[in-house]
Amino acid sequence: MEFIKYKSTRGKESGVNASEAILKGLADDGGLFMPEKFPKFDFALEDLKGKRYQEVAYEVMKLLLSDYTKEELTDCIEKAYDEKFDTEEIAPLVKAGGAYFLELFHGDTIAFKDMALSILPHLLTTSAKKNGIKNKIVILTATSGDTGKAAMSGFCDVEGTGIIVFYPKDGVSNVQRLQMVTQKGDNTDVVAIHGNFDDAQSGVKKIFSDKDFAKKLSENGIQLSSANSINIGRLVPQIAYYVYAYVKLLETGDIAAGEKINVCVPTGNFGNILAAYIGKQMGLPVDKLICASNENKVLFDFFEHGVYDRNRKFVLTSSPSMDILISSNLERLIYLSCGSDGEYVSKLMKDLSAGGKYEVTKAMKDFMKDFIAGFADEKKNFEGIKSLYDSTGYIIDTHTGVAFSVYEDYKKATKDMTKTVIASTASPYKFADSVLEAIFGQKQDMGDFEVIDKLHEIGAPEIPKAILEIKDAKIRHTRECDSADMQKEVEDILFNNRR
């Protein structure tokens, strides 16, 4: 098996082992780690039929995490994908409305982030042991709603770690907020910021790039790492579920071996759809990658015109995990599209930082032709949720609704009837009020938990444990700050032990 090393998208760091890249999160030059080459599948997809999710995940992940032993990686996978998921399949594939919905929300926090954040703590602590790290590892992360809770759940009371999460105070659903502020664990801290997700994400990146602060932390036996999708340890596990979906389609006879599928993903930070793209580079028979945006359609405009421009009105929508104007993982695709020219990527990222925009060349745009972009506004999203419910009884959340609506538009425009997997990224219970509004055509005059009961009443499956747990849970985290003061908050938490 080939030994894969990692390098930075900005060109100044290379030859890094997977375990080191996971430990660091972000490269020293501010870039994101990428494999120096994509290994090809060393298995036939047909041979995975009948395998457990955990077994499929191992076959995929071993190719990219090649400095982990079989025992180490198997241990991480088995600890991650266990009874915390409410279905033995881990990621069921449901056929409805002419598409296949890959349900990625059966974990602890009922969102797709569980798929990667259940395993990241184990990959990280294994990395620390492998690399002789004695420091306390503090996870610093920004969230648009789901990453925060999933990361805290994963790292809760994990020895030798701490986690600090920043989220936009008015930019998450009430269920998302409650899941975070009631999180238990002596090593968890949550801070609401006055600003949007992009402010939180930029603030976290700034803290990571502050060399003086890193030195101060090191002198106190602390080092930072990331749980955001900028960490390659988040990206690699996501590839596995697209392979699993393909294998499931083979098992049911819905596709023949080697038949290409399309993948449609509701997209914010670009990590989830990028995982499908990497899967394609490794040998997964994928044709088109349909990138679905909400009204914050910065990615739609980028794929249409080749100009990435975040200088626009920020819209708060019913799909808050996609309310993002700086899609960090797009840097990885940009890097590939310019022939892995780290210096050029660095220039474009400086342009984005200084002026809020950059433009790619025609050759780079042509390189990205596998990606098809679409967007759905609130009206179209709600119409998609309702039409699917009315025709099939299947209930999807507002992020999956964006993807379904964009897919329907794509089919009408292209007449492409290739079988398509839609990444269903959150349980409808997580956004129950908006889902009910879509189905009934108006906002329901009910409390948070009444709408959850109503959703169950009209056909949603069993109410998840993650929802029941927050019903009477005690609020434990009340910190908030301006986005400019995020580093001060980190210092206060780490050095003054103030909660």
**Mean pLDDT (whole number) for 361-390:** 98
pLDDT at 27: 93
pLDDT at 363: 98
CA 242 to chain centre: 14
Cβ atoms < 10 Å from Cβ of 131: 14
Strands 307-309 and 357-359: antiparallel
For 11-36, b where at least 16 C-beta lie within 10 A, e where not — what string? bebeebbbbbbbbbbbbeebbbbbbe
Rg (alpha carbons) of the chain, rounded to whole number? 21
pLDDT at 153 over 70: yes
The structure tokens 């793209």 sit at 277
With a pLDDT cut of 70, the percent of the chain lying above it is 99
pLDDT at 499: 46
The answer to whether 127 touches 446, Cβ cutoff 8 Å, is no
Q: How far is Cα 230 from Cα 224, in angstroms, rounded to an integer?
A: 14
The answer to whether 471 touches 182, Cβ cutoff 8 Å, is no
Q: Of the ranges 93-102, 172-181, 253-262, 414-423, which one carries the lowest mean pLDDT score?
A: 172-181
The residues that bridge with 359 in the sheet, in sequence order, are: 307
**Closest C-alpha to 419, from 268, 278, 236, 290:** 290
pLDDT at 458 over 80: yes
**Mean pLDDT (whole number) for 288-313:** 97
**Closest C-alpha to 100, from 433, 418, 453:** 418
pLDDT at 498 over 80: no
Q: How far is Cα 468 from Cα 432, in angstroms, rounded to an integer?
A: 14
Quick one: tokens of 303? 């794929």
Residue tagged active-site, from 113, 280, 288, 365: 113
47: exposed, middle or buried (Cβ count in 10 Å: 0-12, 13-18, 19+): exposed
User: What are the structural domains, with CATH classification, of the chain?
Assistant: 93-108+232-462 (3.40.50.1100), 136-220+464-498 (3.40.50.1100)
pLDDT at 495: 92
The structure tokens 């999807």 sit at 396
**Closest C-alpha to 224, from 494, 498, 496, 497:** 494
Cβ atoms < 10 Å from Cβ of 54: 15
The answer to whether 318 touches 378, Cβ cutoff 8 Å, is yes
SS (H, E, C) the chain: CCCCCEEECCCCCCCECHHHHHHHCCCCCCCCEEECCCCCCCCCHHHHCCCCHHHHHHHHHHHHCCCCCHHHHHHHHHHHCCCCCCCCCCCCEEEECCEEEEECCCCCCCECHHHHHCCHHHHHHHHHHHCCCCCEEEEEEECCCCHHHHHHHHHCCCCCEEEEEEEECCCCCHHHHHHHHCCCCCCEEEEEEECCHHHHHHHHHHHHCCHHHHHHHHHCCEEEECCCCCCHHHHHHHHHHHHHHHHHHHHHCCCCCCCCEEEEEECCCCHHHHHHHHHHHHCCCEEEEEEEECCCCHHHHHHHHCEEECCCCCCCCCCHHHCCCCCCCHHHHHHHHCCCCHHHHHHHHHHHHHHCEEECCHHHHHHCCCEEEEECCHHHHHHHHHHHHHHHCCCCCHHHHHHHHHHHHHHHHHCCCCCEEEEECECHHHHHHHHHHHHHCCCCCCCHHHHHHHHHHCCCCCCCHHHHHHCCCCCCCCEEEEHHHHHHHHHHHHHCCCC
Average pLDDT taken over every residue of the chain: 95
Residue 228: pLDDT band by 50, 70, 90 thresholds?
A: confident
pLDDT at 296: 97
**Mean pLDDT (whole number) for 226-231:** 86
Q: Using one digit for the tens of pLDDT, what is the confidence trace for 2-18?
A: 899 999 999 999 999 99
Cβ atoms < 10 Å from Cβ of 183: 23
Q: Using one digit for the tens of pLDDT, what is the confidence trace for 84-141?
A: 999 999 999 999 999 999 999 999 899 999 999 999 999 999 999 999 998 999 999 9
The answer to whether 13 touches 29, Cβ cutoff 8 Å, is yes
**Mean pLDDT (whole number) for 444-454:** 92
Quick one: tokens of 242? 């697209």
| Active site annotation includes 113 | yes
The answer to whether 268 touches 427, Cβ cutoff 8 Å, is no
pLDDT at 210: 93
**Mean pLDDT (whole number) for 211-225:** 94
